[in-house]
Amino acid sequence: MRKMIRQMAAVIILVSIVIINSIAVKAGNELPKGNTFLIEFSVEKGDDSCRCNLSGIKVDVFSSRLTMYDDESNMSEFTHSFAFSVYSDKDGIVLFEKPSKEFLIIVDVSSLPYNKGIEEQTKFYRGDRLKDKIELRDIDNIEVRYDETAENGISVRIFDKAGRKINADYSTKEDKSNNDVRNLISDSIMSIKGVVYAGDKIIPYEYTREYSVDQRLNLIKENVDNGNIDKAEALAAYIDIYDKYGKTQELFECVLTLSKDSVFIESLSEFYQKAINEILLEPSYNKIYSSGRFEIRYTSSSSTTPLFITSLMMALQTADTSLCSGLSLSQPRSNPSGTAKYYVYVTNQTNGTALASCFPQTISGVRTSYIVIWEITDLSVSSTEFQNATISHEYMHAIMHTYRNNQELPKWFKESWSEWAIVHVNGLYDNTCPSGYVNAYLNNSYKSLIGTDNVYGKLLFPLYIRQNHGGDSVVADVVKNLTSTNNVYTAISNALYGTNTFDSIFPNYMRFVYTPKKLFNPNLSSWNNSPYLHYFYGLYSYPNNDAGGDIEPVSAHYREFAVPSSIPYHLDITINILYNYSTFSGKLLMTNASGMTTNWNINPSGSLVTYSTDITTSYIKGCVMFASTNKSLQTGYTLTISRS
């Protein structure tokens, strides 16, 4: 039975990730009387170099209130609210009246003496504790490494002379002069340089970052908006980047005359589509092959229908039977003649590999679609399994457009649902399932579901719905729901059974795609049901930023912590959600030697909370998972995991 009391508290504070061990009381010091709490700041034992004044160290004190108790897991939630700030005297002594029986302190590291840091920045005190000692340590070494999840692209770890990680004040400065966005016009890799300052240490850093095509185009657009690149140079850059992807020069000459200032479109697909729409409004292909709702246009000197064209028509009709007849994905539109048609244009280019794109149109208020199969060099061969998969993918784009204008749908949704169509029509095979994209997504599963990276790998989300929430019919129902909403999350929620919503199933989905264990096998039709965390597998923390981090919209982070070998012990997890805490949820996962995992749900009732429990069972690993279901804004948080 769960007993729950809820009270909200809004606090904006910075907390660090630390492991807190039990702290010894200095011998000879008398315990404070009554309700007074004493904190003693001292220099590291044996450090004779510091003759600094220890006054002025700021400590923020928070009162703590029990807001939830779950007797099944023996876990208590404490919500913290700011009480007051206190400062140390010249001897490093802080005295104050405890604001409540349980309370929290946060040390302001920017107020520490020069070149000093501390191991524990955030501490939660329980019961009758009346005294604590916090040791100041010299900054000895700084480790800087690339971390794409961090706001400035790097994570900074500070260490003392013994190699222990400490929390200290630091600042960074990026060398903008070396980070020329013009490099991205000719190359996808840019070198980033800067400097980290902490105490008397000045550490330069440099890393290289690879940018996708869409990221390169977006950066060019941003620099146009900022005045760093003029529009003529940006247009030339767009053309140069696209040309490297095998598109014809005639396409871009058309863009030059048509686009003008409207060239600055955010993504490759949208920009490409705009240019192609203008070119193919009046196609000049000399042959037409029709069957059912499909019409294929191509160029050929032969009087007979080429083998590739007949195979292509068979692939279209197979996809139509599977998706439309099998799942009732009807086409709620018809062309002006009253007959529903999809138009397929087969080009005969020779400067690249075969690819396809679907381009929706709205003609006289009616939504129609056409599919362009690019760069087919030999019409005498039959279509391959890869091309059959491509047809299924593009046909799904066309179907979706008949329910909702594709320009209103997010890219991750369009691509992942079209990849699901490949699986539904053709099955799961290496040559029809983009396992490379899937693995790339799994290796970066802390990233947002709605981000622009690895959109094809997000096939895993509709497959997760398929496996766990009603099968392909539910996935298809999501598309049908687009007739009543352009919000894909609403469409997903309306298709799910019972009380399930997108927000309720998303954290569990993120648990399945947790890296590094790849739970999805593209050669199988189901998820691997092995224990989520297993001692044979590595367990890593994302991101590698011990000061906390931001969860991107619709994404998750994972934090590993060490589990003591001896039991019982007390575990406290303090979370400070800097913003958007209402969309923030989590799980505490504890794994035993057999690979079985115990879960405790974390649903903060305030922006600064501590989850406290006694651990009486032997575990070998611990991990905290946080997920955000915010669709537009990042959720910032910091974390402290303590045990005693």
* Predicted pLDDT of residue 140: 93
494-537, pLDDT tens digit by residue?
A: 999 999 999 989 988 887 776 434 344 444 444 444 433 333 33
CA 340, CA 334: separation in Å to the nearest integer?
4
**Cα dihedral sign, 623-610-585-616:** positive
| Residues 390-419 pLDDT 10s | 888 888 888 888 888 777 888 899 999 999
Residue ranges of the domains in the chain?
2-138, 213-279, 280-408, 409-529
- In angstroms, rounded to a whole number, what is the distance separating the alpha carbons of residues 107 and 61? 9
Ranking 110-124, 327-341, 498-512 by mean pLDDT, the lowest is: 327-341
How much is the pLDDT for 390? 81
In sequence order, what DSSP letters do the residues of 410-435 get, joined into one string?
Answer: -HHHHHHHHHHHHHHHH-S-TTTS-H
Return d(Cα 304, Cα 538) in angstroms, integer. 59
Q: Which residues, including other chains, have CB under 8 Å from residue 38's CB and lie 6 or more apart?
A: 29, 32, 93, 94, 95, 130, 131, 132
Q: What is the mean pLDDT of residues 467-478?
A: 94
Q: Is residue 63's pLDDT more than 90?
A: yes
Please give the pLDDT value at position 206: 84
Using alpha carbons only, how large is the chain's radius of gyration in Å? Answer: 30
Mean pLDDT for the chain?
A: 75
Confidence band for 178, pLDDT divided at 50, 70 and 90? low
- Token representation of residue 383: 């279509």
Task: State the pLDDT confidence band at 248, using cuts at 50, 70 and 90.
Answer: very low
85: Cβ contacts below 8 Å, ≥ 6 apart: 58, 59, 60, 61
Residue 252 has pLDDT above 80, yes or no: no
Tokens 């700030």 correspond to 85
Q: What is the pLDDT of residues 362-392, one digit of tens each?
A: 666 666 666 766 555 567 666 677 678 888 8
CATH class, 2-138 region: mainly beta
One DSSP character per residue, 493-557 reads HHHSSTT--HHHHHHHHHHHT-SSS--B-TTSSSB--S-SS-TTS----BS--TT-EEEPTTEEE
Q: Whats the size of the chain, residue-wise? A: 644
Q: Does position 644 have pLDDT exceeding 70, yes or no?
A: yes
Between 208-222, 572-586, 606-620, the lowest mean confidence (pLDDT) is in 208-222
- Give the pTM: 0.74
Whole-number pLDDT of residue 448: 86
What average pLDDT does range 336-347 have in this prediction? 65
**How does pLDDT run across 544-588, given as a tens digit for each residue?**
334 567 888 898 887 777 788 888 988 999 999 888 888 888 888
Give the angle 501-502-508 at the CA atoms, nearest 5°: 100
When pLDDT is averaged across residues 475-492 and rounded to a whole number, the result is: 94
609 pLDDT higher than 90: yes
| Cα–Cα separations (whole angstroms), residue 168 to 117, 197, 515 | 4, 11, 30
| Maximum average pLDDT range among 82-91, 253-262, 331-340 | 82-91
Helix 435-442 / helix 460-468 crossing angle, nearest 10 deg: 90
Higher pLDDT, 187 or 638: 638
pLDDT for 266:
39
pLDDT at residue 120 is higher than 90: no
Mean pLDDT of 222-227: 72
Is it the case that residue 18 has pLDDT exceeding 50?
no
